[in-house]
Amino acid sequence: MADEGRDRMIALFWITFAAIVYSLAGYGLIWIALAAVWPRRATHPERPFAATMLIAARNEAADIGAKVRSVLDQETGAHDLQVLIVSDGSDDGTEDAALVAAAGDPRVEVLSTGGHVGKAGALNIGLGRIPPDRIVIFSDANSTLVPGAVRALLRPFADPGVGGAIGQLDIPDRGGLLDRAERLFWRYDNALKIAEDRIGGTVSAQGTLYAVRRALVRPVPADMADDLVTSLGAVDSGYRLAFAPGAVAREAVSSGAKQEMGRRIRSTERGWRGLMQFARLMNPARTGLYAWQLVSHKFARRMVAFLLPVLLILSTLLANSGPIYAAILIAQLCVYGVALLSATTSVRLPGASVATLFTLGHLAIAIAILRWSVGVRSTKWSPVREG
């Protein structure tokens, strides 16, 4: 009986281990390898589009000027680009800073919500002023665009089957604890987006820079991640999301573990709620290969947060059953130990940034999904910026 129980435990251990490895690395490596031999999509000549960049801002006076200048400095060719900034009850002079940076440029319009209505409320106010025949470019107020970003982002729309285009995030290395690990993660994620784009379409948007045809944009729910639900809405309407690697936006991340933890909890809770809203897209009978991508990239990757403690418990119970179990247990304890030491002290051991991002990231995911499960809803935002 004891041997039977141990055999079941070993089977559960390897199932858990395989699920974690697949979600974190296996899926990406398989998809990148598949993309190398997958037929390339047909290219379409560049076409001019009418586009409006919609920026929701809450107390962004320190960053909005650089944002506006980086947009107005874009070489847009034949594209008609307008900029609409909606200040969500800012009380730090955000509107004035935006107008100063615009220097009277007629392409820029600045609105105020009057009160604090939340990011979704600000976006919905802005969307109400954009005609259905335009393309809406969404971009965070605290990011800046590299030259050529707008043209690169609009280029995929020459394909009538494309409903949205996703830009690339570039994180400057400021020497913070999490900066280096974030840069490594986004480098891998960008490679995965290129592969997904070639096979089934990019999975979803990241809020720093993306664009969607206005006719496909639905009202943004206050308690869901706007970038996720807006991009998934385009897929739900039968369109594909394209990745535009030349559309680069630069945005710094929080260097502090506490700030990053809070941000990830809120964004994951809202993102998970949005994913559940569009759970039908994970049905391969409806969306084909895209369903596998969505399950692997969004659903399974978040389930890792709950599989990791299971693996830790099982490897502890099986540590005396063979060197492989002991080695995996020691590896886990080293990662979590380095992360705890780095997050609570000034000691920086080798691999500290990766271990900290890995541990805090999955802890934040677990907390966020548990918050979602008990009905917690984050609807307002107060962006935290480092000086």
Which pTM value belongs to this model?
Answer: 0.93
Single-letter amino acid code for the residue at 248: V
Where would I find the H helices in the chain? 2-21, 27-37, 61-72, 94-102, 118-127, 149-154, 179-199, 226-236, 257-277, 284-287, 289-294, 301-317, 323-344, 352-373
What angle, 0 to 180 degrees and rounded to 10, lies between the N-to-C axes of helices 323-344 and 301-317? 120
- What kind of fold does domain 50-255 have according to CATH? Spore Coat Polysaccharide Biosynthesis Protein SpsA; Chain A (3.90.550)
Query: Are 54 and 138 contacting, i.e. CB atoms less than 8 angstroms apart?
Result: yes
Query: CA 137 to CA 165: how far, in whole Å?
Result: 9
Q: Could you tell me which residues come within 8 angstroms of residue 226 by beta carbon, excluding any fewer than 6 positions away? A: 119, 120, 123, 138, 207, 220
Closest CA to 166 of 182, 142, 186, 141: 186
H and E: helices and strands count for the chain: 14, 8
pLDDT along the chain (387 residues), means of 10: 81 98 96 92 90 97 97 95 97 96 97 93 97 98 96 97 96 69 86 94 94 98 96 98 96 69 90 97 96 97 98 97 96 94 80 89 96 86 58
